[in-house]
Amino acid sequence: MRDDGYSSGSVLLSFLLGGVVGAGLALLFAPQSGRETRQKIREMADDVKEKTSDYVHEAKGKVSSLVEEGKGYYDEKKSILKSAVEAGKEAYEKEKEKYAKS
């Protein structure tokens, strides 16, 4: 996988911010009354807030999933290492007894 320095989160955030800025400029330069402009800005802000909330919720879910996956990996490797250490101790004790009897 190629690492070009941009995460999918930063690309999505940049896209959202660009959209907000573009939409805001379009509203400010459109020929309409102040009331209509304020209403459209309010609707746009609500939409951005909802999309941002969804994005944050999705990101939290992914992070939680990765943390749980990492914990499982850690526990698995810890168990393997513990078994190897125990086997080493047993082998050491057997060899120690073997040489003690000689």
Q: For 34-88, what is each residue's pLDDT tens digit?
A: 788 788 878 888 888 898 888 888 888 888 888 889 898 898 999 999 999 999 9
Give this prediction's pTM: 0.46
20: Cβ contacts below 8 Å, ≥ 6 apart? 44, 48
The confidence score (pLDDT) of residue 3 equals: 55
The confidence score (pLDDT) of residue 1 equals: 45
Residue with tokens 């990101």: 59
User: C-alpha distances in angstroms, 61 versus 13, 16, 35, 70?
Assistant: 17, 20, 39, 14
Residue 91, pLDDT > 80, answer yes
Mean pLDDT of 8-29: 78
Q: Which residue, 33, 54, 51, 32, is CA-closest to 43?
A: 51
